[in-house]
Amino acid sequence: MYDYILIRSKRKTISIQINEKCEIVVRAPMKISKKEIDKTVNEEAYWIEKHMPEARRRMEQAEKITPELLHQLTQRAYMELPPIVERYAVLMGVEPTGIRITSARKRFGSCSGKNSLCFSCLLMLYPMEAVECVVVHELAHIRHHNHSAQCDAGLSQPRGAAEENAGSRQNVMAQRKMNMRILLTFS
Binding site for Zn ion (CB under 5 A): 187
Q: Could you tell me the maximum CA-CA distance found in the chain, to the nearest angstrom?
A: 50
The CB-of-180 to Zn ion minimum distance in angstroms stands at: 21
Between residues 175 and 187, which has the closer beta carbon with respect to Zn ion?
187
Q: Is 109 exposed, middle or buried (0-12, 13-18, 19+ CB in 10 A)?
A: buried
The CB-of-133 to Zn ion minimum distance in angstroms stands at: 11
Between residues 23 and 163, which has the closer beta carbon with respect to Zn ion?
163
Cα gap 17→15, rounded to integer Å: 7
CA proximity to 187, closest of 127, 102, 129: 102
Between residues 11 and 107, which has the closer beta carbon with respect to Zn ion?
107
The CB-of-11 to Zn ion minimum distance in angstroms stands at: 19
Nearest-CB residue for Zn ion: 187
The CB-of-94 to Zn ion minimum distance in angstroms stands at: 14
